[in-house]
């Protein structure tokens, strides 16, 4: 049962698509206090678990920390961080009582989940203008299903997007891309996508191509596609301010940019230097910006990633003036003026400053809205701009799209990647923990930068991370400029990479089928064990294994130098290992705890009792997969419903997409 409560005058975020009437009165679980802004309180039972929050730090069980929904471009995802790039305000309290809460509020919101007082859940925000959805159900899983049912169908990418992709900030020329393609193809490591980071543009200007490096771009897109490789360019939120740059001029003339109080266009520096932000909350501006993607779709591009859309601000002219003042005071008055420390502090505060977010406005349905009041909706609406445009460009075709910043509602238009992680073992585990939480909030097409974005990776970390990435819908190796080369073929014994990435392709029939089933029935692709085995007290605590679809459990190795790991089986399962020689080992393991050996070049999974999964032969690209000749792995007599379609169009309901296979 879902009830919707209204407080004050909420901003219509359009996160929820179902038409739900506002309930009278107050929610029956927890209490609400409206003395200072909004506050929701609930006293948790000792054993209550709290799930949700999508892209957030720490565990699957969110209890014991404080999280703040305030989309932030912060590449240091250390354990103490309370905000990441997204705002996913949905939680489920599971235990003595089971209920879910979605706080539809577009800016800074705090979830204190047993941080200040271990038994207290407290949700607070400054303005009591919001919708609160309270969902009651039988179990955490049931509540998630109900929630997913009211926020609209999750985004469905084209099938090629289930292949493996290589990215690196720093590829500049056609030769750089050709080298990556050749590196993979020569070493026979499968590959479907190469991502184009900001250097493909002319001066980091959106919807331009570096003229010297990308002459005859459609020809180049074709050249790659002939090798079954798609180029996937990045689009940044800020539009460079430059005379003669048509996007900037059109935006200025059309009034499509966010404005300052005095009506002039807001100015903020990002990669290109000073930029204007398209006012993607304004439907007209959104349409204008979305149509710009045509510049690349018309040249054969079928997918994009949207970045810097928190929106990220490096500094503003006003911020720089402030620092300049401090430096002047330091220079002119060495004794009484600003100190070096103050100057350093001020420099650090230049980026993503609250003051800047308070100094510009959106136009929404004739109303002027200060950005900080709707801050968490920018990435959502930038991606919506593209998603709505794709519907106009080719309504029958699916495009690849994922974003860095997001809010619930954006899950209908694209996936997300989890931003600038590091080449740290702890971030491999964080990647795993975020996945089911994201699914709860509707984000199914997700993944992290495999191998780690910041810092130098190591061969073993990349291999172990790929062995998790084999299962994440978005499987992309991405790294920052200046880091060690991270393409699979840069390391010794490339055959290990060929094998691990190859397992992804072997599993695509199953992974794609489970993805589609989850998307088409508002279900989860990744689940915590607790959702399948709610009566098992040990399953409730597992934070380093996941259920994937209805047939398998995954338990990747995430520790340096480990030769295996402990794993908990809530029921008997078939322990399967994809061995480097192409063979598959299978061993029935009884319910309980086991230590399992998993070498660096092996990929493990567990088939649930009585189930089976289809497995293909490895291929160099999704296009080359032979989905007609599938091997069936699992329990004898088991059946599996396989979903399969052309992977391009949207004919999802066609009964021919489903067939039963039997072991
Ligand atoms: C941001 C993105 C990262 C990208 C970089 C350069 O840091 O998160 O993925 O490589 O910008 O565009």
Strand blocks (E) in 109-256? 109-113, 120-125, 130-136, 164-166, 193-196, 230-236, 239-240
- Tell me 100's DSSP state: E
Is residue 335 predicted with pLDDT exceeding 90?
no
From residue 434, give the alpha-carbon distance in Å to each of 408, 426, 439: 15, 12, 9
Residue 91 phi/psi, 5° resolution? -130, 160
Helix ranges restricted to H, 333-409: 340-348, 354-357, 378-393
Evaluate: CB of 169 within 6 angstroms of ligand 1.
yes
Mean pLDDT of the region 162-190: 98
For 399-425, what is each residue's pLDDT tens digit? 999 999 999 999 999 999 999 999 999
Q: Is the CB of 170 under 6 A from ligand 1?
A: no
Which tens digits make up the pLDDT trace of 45-56?
999 999 999 999
- Rounded to 10°, the helix 494-520/459-469 angle is 30
Is 84 a pocket residue for ligand 1 (Cβ < 6 Å)?
no
Helix or strand run (H / E) with residue 506: helix 494-520
From the CA of 271, how far away is ligand 1's center (Å)? 10
Axis crossing angle, helix 340-348 with helix 317-332, rounded to the nearest 10: 170
Q: How far is the CA of 407 from the centre of ligand 1 (A)?
A: 19
Per-position DSSP letters for 159-190, written without gaps between them: GGGGSEEE--TT--SHHHHHHHHHHHHHTT--
β 367-370/361-364 pair status? antiparallel
The answer to whether the CB of 412 is under 6 A from ligand 1 is: no
Question: Among 248, 241, 260, which residue's Cα sits nearest to residue 318?
Answer: 260
CB of 112 sitting under 6 A from ligand 1: no
Of ligand 1's atoms, which has the minimum distance to the CA of residue 481? 10
Smallest CA-to-CA distance from 407 within 9, 89, 38, 51 is with 89
Which ligand 1 atom minimizes the distance to the CA of 234? 12
What pLDDT is recorded for position 577?
Answer: 98
Number of alpha carbons in the 13 Å side-chain half-sphere of residue 551: 25
pLDDT per residue as tens digits for the range 229-266: 999 999 999 999 999 999 999 999 999 999 999 999 99
Residue owning the nearest CA to atom 10 of ligand 1:
169
**C-alpha 167 to ligand 1 mean position (Å):** 10
Q: Are 72 and 84 in contact (CB under 8 A)?
A: yes
In angstroms, the Cα distances linking 431 to 337, 475, 530 are 46, 12, 18
Q: What angle is formed at CA 193 by the lines to CA 189 and CA 195, rounded to 5 degrees?
A: 120
d(CA 169, ligand 1 centre) in Å: 7
The two tokens of residue 548 are 């994937």
Ligand 1: residue whose CA is nearest its atom 4: 169
The answer to whether residue 518 scores a pLDDT higher than 80 is yes
pLDDT at 74 over 90: yes
Read off the pTM. 0.98
Q: What is the pLDDT of residue 447?
A: 98
Residue 270 has pLDDT above 90, yes or no: yes
Which pLDDT does position 336 carry in this prediction? 85
Higher-scoring residue by pLDDT: 663, 218: 218
- Per-residue pLDDT tens digits for 471-493: 999 999 999 999 999 999 999 99
State percent of the chain over pLDDT 90: 98
* CA separation for the pair 598, 126 (Å, rounded): 50
Q: Quick check: CB of 197 below 6 Å from ligand 1? A: yes
Look up tokens 């008997």; give the residue.
Answer: 572
CA of 34 relative to ligand 1 center, distance in Å: 40
Question: Mean pLDDT throughout 335-339?
Answer: 86
The number of helices, as runs of H, and strands, as runs of E, in the chain is 14, 36
Which of 480, 481, 486 maximizes ligand 1 atoms within 8 Å of its Cβ, making it the mutation to test the pocket?
Answer: 480
Please give the number of the atom of ligand 1 that sits closest to the Cα of 197.
Answer: 12
For residue 244, the 8-state DSSP code is T
DSSP string covering 569-617: ESS-EEEEEE-TTS-EEEEEE-SEEEEEE--TT-EEEEEETT-EEEE--
Q: Is the CB of 198 under 6 A from ligand 1?
A: yes
State if residue 420 touches ligand 1 by the CB under 6 angstroms criterion: yes
Q: Which of 420, 455, 482 to mutate to test the pocket of ligand 1 (most atoms within 8 A of CB)?
A: 420
The encoded tokens of residue 436 equal 């089911």
Q: Looking at residue 337, what is its pLDDT?
A: 87
pLDDT at 383: 98
pLDDT over 80 (residue 334): no
Assess whether the C-beta atom of 236 lies below 6 angstroms from ligand 1: no
Ligand 1 within 6 A of 74 CB? no
Average pLDDT, rounded, for the chain: 97
pLDDT recorded at residue 333: 85
pLDDT tens digits along 368-395: 999 999 999 999 999 999 999 999 999 9
Gap from CA of 482 to ligand 1 centroid (Å): 13
């Amino acid at each position: 049962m879902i009830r919707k409560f209204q407080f004050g005058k909420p901003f219509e975020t359009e996160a929820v698509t179902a038409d739900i009437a506002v309930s009278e009165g107050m929610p029956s679980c927890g209490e609400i206090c409206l003395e200072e802004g909004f506050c929701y309180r609930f006293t948790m039972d000792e054993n209550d678990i709290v799930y949700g929050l999508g892209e957030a730090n720490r565990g699957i069980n969110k209890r014991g920390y404080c999280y703040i929904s305030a989309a932030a471009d912060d590449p240091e995802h250390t354990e103490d961080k309370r905000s990441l790039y997204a705002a996913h305000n949905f939680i489920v309290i599971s235990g003595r009582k089971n209920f879910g809460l979605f706080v539809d509020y577009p800016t800074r919101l705090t979830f204190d989940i047993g941080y200040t007082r271990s038994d207290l859940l407290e949700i607070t925000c400054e303005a009591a203008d919001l919708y609160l959805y309270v969902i009651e159900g039988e179990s955490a899983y049931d509540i998630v299903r109900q929630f997913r049912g009211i926020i609209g169908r999750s985004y469905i990418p084209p099938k090629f997007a289930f292949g493996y992709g290589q990215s690196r900030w720093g590829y500049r020329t056609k030769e750089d891309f050709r080298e990556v393609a050749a590196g993979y193809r020569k070493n026979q490591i499968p590959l479907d996508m190469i991502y184009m980071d900001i250097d493909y543009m002319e001066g980091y200007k959106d919807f331009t191509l570096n003229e010297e490096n990308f002459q005859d771009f459609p020809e180049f897109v074709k050249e790659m596609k002939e090798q079954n490789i798609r180029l996937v360019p990045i689009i940044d939120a800020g539009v460079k301010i430059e005379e003669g740059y048509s996007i900037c001029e059109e935006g200025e003339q059309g009034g499509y940019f966010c404005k300052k109080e005095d009506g002039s266009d807001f100015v903020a520096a990002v990669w290109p230097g000073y930029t204007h932000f398209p006012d993607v909350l304004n439907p007209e501006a959104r349409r204008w910006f979305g149509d710009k993607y045509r510049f690349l779709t018309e040249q054969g591009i079928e997918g994009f990633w949207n970045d810097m859309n928190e929106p990220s601000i490096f500094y503003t002219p006003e911020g720089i003036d402030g620092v300049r003042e401090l430096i002047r005071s330091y220079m002119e008055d060495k004794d009484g003026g600003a100190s070096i420390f103050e100057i350093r502090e001020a420099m650090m505060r230049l980026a993503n400053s609250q003051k800047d977010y308070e100094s510009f406005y959106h136009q929404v349905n004739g109303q002027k809205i200060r950005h900080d009041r709707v801050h968490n909706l920018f990435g959502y609406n930038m991606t919506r701009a593209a998603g709505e445009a794709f519907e106009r460009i080719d309504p029958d075709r699916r495009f690849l799209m994922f974003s860095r910043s997001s809010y619930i509602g954006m899950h209908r238009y694209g996936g997300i990647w989890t931003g600038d992680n590091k080449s740290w073992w702890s971030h491999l585990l964080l990647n795993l923990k975020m996945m089911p939480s994201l699914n709860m909030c509707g984000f199914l097409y997700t993944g992290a930068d495999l191998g780690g974005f910041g810092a130098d990776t190591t061969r073993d970390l990349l291999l172990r991370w790929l062995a998790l990435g084999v299962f994440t819908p978005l499987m992309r190796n991405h790294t920052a400029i200046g880091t060690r080369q991270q393409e699979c073929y840069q390391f010794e014994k490339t055959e290990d990479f060929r094998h691990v990435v190859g397992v992804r392709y072997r599993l695509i029939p199953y992974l794609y089928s489970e993805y589609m089933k989850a998307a088409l029935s508002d279900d989860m692709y990744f689940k915590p064990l607790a959702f399948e085995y709610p009566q098992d007290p040990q399953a409730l605590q597992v934070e380093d294994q996941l259920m994937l679809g209805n047939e398998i459990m995954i338990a990747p190795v995430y520790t340096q130098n480990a030769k295996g790991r402990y794993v908990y089986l809530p029921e008997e399962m078939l322990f399967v290992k994809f061995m480097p020689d192409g063979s598959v080992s299978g061993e029935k393991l009884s319910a309980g705890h086991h230590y399992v050996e998993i070498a660096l070049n092996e990929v493990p999974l567990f088939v649930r009792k009585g189930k089976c999964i289809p497995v293909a032969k490895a291929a160099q690209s999704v296009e080359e997969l032979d989905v007609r000749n599938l091997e069936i792995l699992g329990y004898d007599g088991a059946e599996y419903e396989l979903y399969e379609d052309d992977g391009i169009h949207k004919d999802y309901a066609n009964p021919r997409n489903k067939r039963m296979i039997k072991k």
